[in-house]
Amino acid sequence: MRLNRFLAAAGVASRRGADELIAGGRVTVNGKPCRDFHFRPTINDHVKIDGKLVHQPAPIYILLNKPAGFVCTRRDPHVTDTIYDLLPLKFSSLANVGRLDAQSEGLLLLTNDGEFAQRLTHPRFKVEKEYEVVLNRAATSDLAQKLLRGVVLDRKRARAKRVQQISPTRLRIVLEQGINRQSGACSSVSDFTRKN
């Protein structure tokens, strides 16, 4: 995680306050002033503010069963219900790893471990994401093939790696890439409506 987030996670200051500490030259890394906002301290780095050691926060991992109706964002003036409303305040600085649409429900990982989150979400690591999609009617025989060939969502191509029909109205879809609204792919290839 970036230096300002590291300082905020350690409880030293808000992220904006951490930016001010960094800009003011009050932060040192391994004995040298650090004004690089993009610097990512490792477990071996000694970060200090005004000569006082800042302890790296212990990694936190939380699995949240997100209900429908909640958005995967921290702050949005147009949204009233976010996943952070479901968590105790002490976890409000955690980042969600991936996201689900507001109308979707399912398991979400939240963490303060930026490297771990990057390994799960960056396309080069090819981590699979599994979705179970409930349709408003029985799937047609060609729907799985259309999903395997790929659809365009938000001007990006989303292609299922695997599609398994669990029941006439339920599909398990496995994707590698992260694209917003990717679990809505069924409605993009036909007139199906995703129920959740």
> Dihedral (C-alpha) 67, 104, 117, 24: value to the nearest 10 degrees?
-80
Q: Of 135, 117, 133, which is closest to residue 125 (Cα–Cα)?
A: 117
pLDDT digits 0-9 by tens, 71-129? 998 877 888 899 999 999 989 889 999 888 898 899 999 998 877 888 898 888 889 98
CATH number of 3-54: 3.10.290.10
pLDDT digits 0-9 by tens, 33-81? 999 988 999 888 999 999 999 987 788 999 999 999 999 988 778 888 9
Other CB atoms within a 10 A radius of the CB of residue 83 amount to 20
Percent of the chain, pLDDT > 90? 43
d(CA 75, CA 73): 6
d(CA 193, CA 188): 9
Do residues 27 and 48 touch, judged by C-beta distance below 8 A?
yes
Q: Please give the order of strands across the beta sheet that includes 170-175.
A: 129-134, 170-175, 162-167
Same fold, 61-121 and 128-189: yes
Residue 67 gets which letter from DSSP?
P
CATH topology of domain 61-121: Alpha-Beta Plaits (3.30.70)
- Confidence at 165, pLDDT banded by 50, 70, 90: very high
**Strands annotated E in 112-190:** 129-134, 151-153, 156-158, 162-167, 170-175
Catalytic residue among 19, 81, 85, 101: 101
Assess whether 101 carries a catalytic annotation.
yes
- Note if the pTM is more than 0.85: no
- Could you state, in order of their start, the residue ranges of all structural domains in the chain? 3-54, 61-121, 128-189
Percent of the chain, pLDDT > 70? 89
128-189 placed in CATH 3.30.70:
yes
